[in-house]
Amino acid sequence: MLAFLGFLTIILVLALIMSKKSSTLIALIIIPAITGFITAFVKAPQTIIDAAAQKAADAGTEFVAPVVTFGDQLTQTFKSVTGWMGSGLTSIAATGVMFIFAILFFSTCSDAGVFDPIIAKILKFTGNDPVKVAIGTFIIGCICHLDGSGATTFLIAIPACMPLYKKLKMNYWVEATIVALAAGIMNVMPWGGPTIRAATAISGLGYEVTAAQLWVGIMPSWIVGLIMACLCSAWLGKKEAKRIAAGIAADPTEVAETETAEVNKDLIRTGWRWYFNVCLILVLLFILIKGLLSPAATFMIGFCILLIVNYPNVAQQHDIINSHAKAAFLMVSIVFAAGAFTGIMKGSGMLTAMTDALVAIIPNSVGKVMAPIVGILGVPLSLLFDPDSFYYGVMPVIANAVAAMGGSAVAVAKASIMGQMTLGFPLSPLTGATFLLLGLAGQDLGDHQKHTLPLAWFVSIVMVIVGCVFCGLLASA
């Protein structure tokens, strides 16, 4: 029964999220709360009896089985469900705090114009060389995605580089592909949505791991992926150079009217403050990589320093916080909902029952190689599952099953962020930012997937191979 309720819970959550019949927040809370209530209600009489027996044993008195009334059963049910939810929330509290302050920190850096001079110098460096333009586009995309927002990345990177593509008569799909690769590989950062989700889900299973630890854990793969994505961009630039030299016309493309992210020039900071901000970013990244402080504390302190130095006026500080509060709240509310979801699934025993069911039908020999398999399928799975559905519904079950078969649950989380909604997210029709990218670059989804999917998948597979050697994807439990 528990396994059936567990699979039913996940199927219903996936169906509601993917069909857009419910918001992710509601689906992650209501559905497991209902199935958790059913489970707790059935278990309540035995739970009450066990508690009474333990109490008698502790007191050294004779145990007399209590009479369990309907009211007692109902009270115990609510107590169990809320307890499970509370346990799940506790396990991901630090992750949620980190996510809030990471968004506030990098969004404020963008407001202060920290990245503007860097982008301007890159554009000046590219000149009229298609290869340099392609590499410059990739670097700009990476810089723009430091705040973890796909929409912001596309709103800044596409319009910034588009004049060069027009001038050199380069294909606009090349720009869309390169920016997609940049945003995808940078989405692995510890404040990126997939890594946050993976850490939240795996922590909910009882494996204490932060998003920063996941990122550091796959650092060799991530660095190789970054290099490979850049080389893919250079390869596209070289192909464009040959086409232009041969006099072959670019593919006909109707570019939409480009829009840009709103810029408040009053918030731009130059001079010594710009250098200070760059140093502050580097210091925070160093602390995260070395693990000197918790990620939450790192970004909390870093954000406060950033505000004090750049915007000492209290009213201006409030305005900046308020301008980014909506984005931070919407995302972190889902993180906490996911914590409640995993808490119920684990505390009720549904997750264990599902794991036992999977273990019974999957050979034990598959356990150690399941993580690489998940990693290799990550990019195409991005076309089928949105990040919430995969990381909160599918991945926990796979991870738990892998652990039961002698593999590493954390390895499944590491492998997942090497493709699923990282390199795969700018290709997926399940993310709104994809269509913003297509609109700005004047591309069709099918054509974009045709051009970008092979390269994104190639980079992801290379990351998985490196991960098997250096990042413990084949590790045992």
DSSP state string for 175-192 = HHHHHHHHHHHHTTSTTS
Picking from 5, 3, 22, 2, the residue whose alpha carbon sits closest to that of residue 389 is 22
User: Quick one: tokens of 311?
Assistant: 């915007």
DSSP3 helix / strand / coil % (the chain, rounded to 5) = 80, 0, 20
What SS3 class is residue 305? Answer: helix
In a domain, 253, yes or no: no
Q: How confident is the model at residue 188 (pLDDT cuts 50, 70, 90)?
A: very high
Weakest mean pLDDT among 182-186, 240-244, 364-368, 451-455: 364-368
Is pLDDT at 256 greater than 70 in this prediction?
no
pLDDT tens string 119-161: 788 778 877 899 999 999 999 999 888 877 777 788 778 877 8
Q: What is the mean pLDDT of residues 377-394?
A: 84
Pairwise pLDDT comparison (444 vs 300), residue with the higher score = 300
Contacts of 341 (CB under 8 A, 6+ apart): 13, 28, 29, 32, 88, 204, 392
At residue 257, the pLDDT reads 46
In a domain, 282, yes or no: yes
Is pLDDT at 186 greater than 90 in this prediction?
yes
In a domain, 148, yes or no: yes
What SS3 class is residue 407? Answer: strand
* Average confidence score pLDDT of the chain: 85
Cα–Cα distance between 16 and 114 in angstroms, integer? 40
Q: What is the mean pLDDT of residues 10-34?
A: 83
CA distances to 253, 256, 436, 452 from 439, rounded to whole Å, are 11, 6, 5, 16
Q: How confident is the model at residue 18 (pLDDT cuts 50, 70, 90)?
A: low
At residue 238, the pLDDT reads 96
At residue 258, the pLDDT reads 46
At residue 330, the pLDDT reads 73
Percent of the chain exceeding pLDDT 70 equals: 96
In a domain, 284, yes or no: yes
User: Quick one: tokens of 402?
Assistant: 């892998």
What SS3 class is residue 310? Answer: helix
In a domain, 394, yes or no: yes
In a domain, 160, yes or no: yes
Cα–Cα distance between 474 and 287 in angstroms, integer? 28
Picking from 205, 2, 10, 193, the residue whose alpha carbon sits closest to that of residue 88 is 205
In a domain, 63, yes or no: no
Q: How confident is the model at residue 419 (pLDDT cuts 50, 70, 90)?
A: very high
Q: How many domains does the chain have?
A: 1
pLDDT tens string 317-374: 998 888 888 777 876 787 788 788 878 888 888 877 877 777 677 777 777 788 999 9
Burial of 98 (C-beta count, 10 Å sphere; 0-12/13-18/19+): buried
Domain that holds residue 446: 2-57+70-248+266-470
At residue 262, the pLDDT reads 57
CB 203 within 8 A of CB 101: no
**What is the residue whose two structure tokens read 């799909």?**
173
Pairwise pLDDT comparison (24 vs 273), residue with the higher score = 273
pLDDT tens string 279-319: 998 898 888 777 788 888 888 999 999 999 999 999 889 98
pLDDT tens string 195-229: 989 998 898 888 888 888 999 999 999 999 999 99
Q: How many CB atoms lie within 10 A of CB 12?
A: 18
In a domain, 261, yes or no: no
